[in-house]
Structure formats: structure tokens, C-alpha cells
Amino acid sequence: MLDVPLVILAAGSSSRFFPLASNYHKGFYTVLGKSLAEHTLLSAYNAGVRTAFAIVSPHDSVANSNQVFANLPKDFKVEVVVQPAPLGMGDALLQLQTQLPKHFFVASPYHVTCGSILQLLYKKQQATECSCVLAGEQTLHPERYGIIEYSGDKVTAVIEKPKLSETTSSMKISSVYLLSSAYLQKLSKTEQSEYNFELALNTHAKEANICWVENTQNLPTLKYAWHLLTLMQTLLSTQTAKQAPTAKIAKTAVLDESNGPIVIADNAEVRDFVKILGPAYIGENTLVGEYSFIRQSSLESGARVGAYTEVVRSLICPDATVHQSYIADSILGPKTKVGAGFITANKRFDRK
């Protein structure tokens, strides 16, 4: 067990996630029947973490956020803290300054595979007794990220989005951290700004022993809405095949798990002549109508895919409905209703 708590930062405005993050933080979006934050906390729990703090905005009320965490293991204590205004990571952490112990982890709610990185950071801190441990990974574009300058395993500087002439390092910060109360003291004395978190890290690196480890894992990101599709594929690849006893699956339906596992959750209904090609997730109380084809997709709770519909590499959010259509590489938001004859293209529009 890791005797270090985890802080989940889920209080940002999610402005670049529009139009999907209009009612709650993007980290509370549901994929494979659980919020991303819940997937992240379970990854941390499996790594040995038993205490966590979730920093949320007033937009996500404490009551709703507690409901999100209600299904976690009983011995996993999660406390919800409200950040009054979206003033960045630094301000969010300072909301907990009096509650955090000497060392603590920090991650985002969409870091659904963070467990192994937390263990790596913890081992490094235990071996070196350093103040903080950062995770770094190679990048071809240091001007886009916070960059670690280092000598051996010691961090000598942290530079936010440097010009190419300002650094020779190509090691960007992976946004999972092991930090300390000593760092929080530096942060509290740093003027509030967009990058005060990084500025305080840079100051602390010059005065204390901050170590780093290389992260070779592909850590999930969730800057834009379409990143949900990559996260979905990550989670689909790690699920375990299951058919709930209460699910209704027609005898003529074909479930092909040759390429990945399929989950059919409670009270889901899969009607005649449906084909599901794994990996796929068919959530609680969902309906897949006759002659439909589902592959590499997730249908969340209450979603209804009517007859003669093909869903490919797509996320159908809770209570969304569609029939007699072709949905590829797309997201249907919660309670979206799509009529017959709808076709989505799978051309990427986030790059030239």
C-alpha cells in the first residue's frame, strides 16, 4: 500500500472541450459505465493508494461529485473540495495546503492508467528521499510543453513552453506528480498567474532536491472532445469480457471477441441478427436493434441503437438514441437524438 494520498484536479473550465463539457467537468464524462475520474481513482487504488482528494468547481456541486465516487471500494476514502474560481493548478492545490501530508500525488481525472506511474514516482522518492519527483517523456516539440532541464536524475529547472533557443532539453513534464509540503510553501509565496504552478516548481528545483523519472507509458490526454475516442479505446483494450445474467441476447446475435473482449451489462438488450465485434461495451439498459453492427465502440447506460445501424469506433453517451444510420469515429453526447439516414464522416478535422 502507498502511504501517499492522490489529488485529482477536476475544477478547470474545460473550455476547449466544448460543446461536451457544458454541464460538468470533462473528467466526469462516462466511458464504459464509469466516469473517467472513477477509472483514474480505481487505477490508483489498484496501485495501492487508499486516500484521495478531488478538487472540483462550484459548477460540479459537492453532492453530485460525491455521487460520482459512491461506487468506489469501501476502504478508499475520497474527499471532495471546491475551488471557488478556475484560477489554475496552483490555486487548486493551495485549497488543500493545510490538509495534505509531507508528500502527495497529483493527477488529472482522465489519467485512467496512472497507477503504474504513481508506483514509479513513489519508488524514486523512497530511494532518494527527494522533495518531489516529476515524470518526463520525450517530445519533438518542447515549445508546446513544460520542459524539464536536468543533470542525471536531478531536475535543475522547469521552463514552461520555452522558445527553442531557451532550452536544449526535449523532456516534457508528464502531468502526474509526486509533490511535497515544502513545494506548497513555495507555491503559496508565488504570485498568482496562469503558470504559477510551474514557476514555483522552477524555484523549488533551484533550492531543493527534485528528481525525475522517465515515463515510457502513453499517458492519456483530454484537451479536446475527440480525445475521448482515444481514451475509450484504451479502456476497451483493458476490460474483461462479461455477459450480465439480466442481459437479453437474441440467439441469432453474433458476438465476435477475436479482436477484443465484449461486455454486455445489466438489462441490456441485443436483438436478432445483431453483430458485435470486440472490443466493445454495451452498457446498462441499452438497446441494440435488429440487423445492427457494433464494433470497437461503447454504448453507455440507456443508449438506444435502433435497427439497421452501424456504429464504428464511436462513443454513444448515456440516453442517446439513433436508428438506421452510420456512426463512425464520432461521439453522440448525452440525450442526443438522431433520426434515420444520418451518416458521419471519419475525416479528422483537427489537423490539416
What are the pLDDT digits (tens) for 221-276? 999 999 999 999 999 999 999 999 999 999 999 999 999 999 999 999 999 999 99
> In b/e form, how buried is each residue of 128-143, taking b as 16+ CB within 10 angstroms?
eebbbbbbbbeeeebe
Segments of the chain assigned to CATH 3.90.550.10: 6-214
Mean pLDDT of all residues belonging to the chain: 93
**% of the chain beyond a pLDDT of 70:** 97
* Predicted pLDDT at 348: 67
* Predicted pLDDT at 85: 85
Does residue 6 carry a pLDDT above 70? yes
Enter the C-alpha cell of residue 38. Answer: 472513477
pLDDT tens-digit readout, 185-202: 999 999 998 889 999 999
**% of the chain beyond a pLDDT of 90:** 80
In angstroms, how far apart are the furthest CA atoms of the chain?
A: 68
- Please say whether the beta carbons of 256 and 276 come within 8 A: yes
> In b/e form, how buried is each residue of 194-220, taking b as 16+ CB within 10 angstroms?
ebbbbbbbbbbbeeeebbbbebeeebb
Higher pLDDT, 61 or 86: 86
Q: How far apart are CA 95 and CA 192, in angstroms?
A: 13
Question: Would you tell me how many other CB atoms lie within 10 Å of the CB of residue 71?
Answer: 11
Segments of the chain assigned to CATH 2.160.10.10: 241-338
pLDDT tens-digit readout, 40-60: 999 999 999 999 999 998 877
User: What is the pairing mode between strands 337-338 and 310-312?
Assistant: unpaired
Enter the C-alpha cell of residue 328. Answer: 463512425
Q: Which amino acid is at 272?
A: D
214: CB partners within 8 A, 6+ apart: 135, 136, 137, 138, 171
Enter the C-alpha cell of residue 163. Answer: 522558445
Q: What Rg, from alpha-carbon coordinates, does the chain have? A: 22
- Please say whether the beta carbons of 150 and 212 come within 8 A: yes
- Please say whether the beta carbons of 52 and 37 come within 8 A: no
Q: Which CATH class is domain 6-214?
A: alpha beta
Confidence of residue 352 (pLDDT cuts 50, 70, 90): low
Question: Would you tell me how many other CB atoms lie within 10 Å of the CB of residue 341?
Answer: 9
CATH dotted code for 241-338: 2.160.10.10
Q: 442481459: which residue's cell?
A: 247
* Predicted pLDDT at 34: 95
Q: Which of 81, 91, 55, 108 is nearest to 193 (CA)?
A: 91
Does residue 351 carry a pLDDT above 90? no
* Predicted pLDDT at 165: 83
**pTM: predicted TM-score of the whole model, two decimal places:** 0.93
pLDDT tens-digit readout, 55-76: 998 877 555 666 788 889 999 9
Q: How far apart are CA 196 and CA 341, in angstroms?
A: 50
